[in-house]
Amino acid sequence: MNAPRRAPDVPLPRRMDFEFDDAIPKWWFADNPVATAVANGLHLVFPEGERFFIRSVKHYMSALQDDPALLARIQGFFAQESLHGREHGHSFKLLERQGFDVQRFLDFYERKWLPRIERAAPAVVCLAGTAALEHLTAALGESALTEDFLDDAHPTFRALLRWHAAEEIEHKSVAYDVFQRVSGSYGIRVLGMALGLAGLMFFWTVASRDLLKQEGLSRAEVRTHARAIRQRRQDHTRKVLVRAVTQYLRPSFHPDDNDNYHLAETYLRQVGRLTA
């Protein structure tokens, strides 16, 4: 018999105002251009991805007026996601000062392809993709708060990513609960995971490769740096995502089956931002 799920709190938005100054080195993650390009590539995907999540949930707000508790959680989710996009977007100016052209990828992603995908996909599939990706980001968030791989990051980016990780855990079940209310179809849920994960990995890879190409490194240098990361982390991200997808495919799955809210609470209390 499953233990009763914890009722999640209303997510609380926290404006952090991280300072991405020029003291941050170009290779801020493990002093490694490959690791840094992969992390920066994810930063480039986040802001418009967060706005897509908000739009996907907002589409169904009128159908949820009989559930004030869920509506309150949705508003907290919107506020948190907006601030996540804002903070990650601030790092773009640092990348530009470091000599990177970020607008080329953003035009490809935000103006060309994501709008086409959103227009072509039914609203319920967009919502299913949002629910799936929220589960994946919460899984990555748990890893960020329980493992030491972010110790290799510059303190500013480490703080950004752990704050984001904590809040992803706080609102991990909001989009899923909306999906369950308006559809609940297992087939659409699985389709959302397939399309969401494929889209995430595609855009993340394109962004990371574009940034790495701008480094002007030889293929041999790239291979050497990539090998160093594999030896240190042994494909950490892939393992987290595979485990999270496997959980999600269980027909009875719910994000709150894994009660890890205490991880977010502990971290946010440590940095003095649990309630403000």
In degrees, rounded to 5, the angle at the alpha carbon of residue 45 between the alpha carbons of residues 40 and 46 is: 95
Question: pLDDT for 244-261, tens place per residue?
Answer: 999 999 999 999 999 999
- Beta-carbon contacts of 269 under 8 Å, excluding residues fewer than 6 positions away, are none
Domain boundaries, the chain: 33-270
Which of 237, 245, 175 minimizes the C-alpha distance to 208?
Answer: 237
**Given this model, what pLDDT does residue 236 score?**
78
Between 2 and 213, where is the model more confident?
213
This prediction has a pTM of 0.94
Q: CA 205 → CA 56, 64, 98, 254, distances in Å?
A: 23, 36, 20, 29
CATH topology of domain 33-270: Ribonucleotide Reductase, subunit A (1.10.620)
Conformational region of residue 60, where left means phi above 0, alpha means psi within -120 to 50, and beta covers everything else: alpha
Question: pLDDT for 153-207, tens place per residue?
Answer: 999 999 999 999 999 999 999 999 999 999 999 999 999 999 999 999 999 999 9
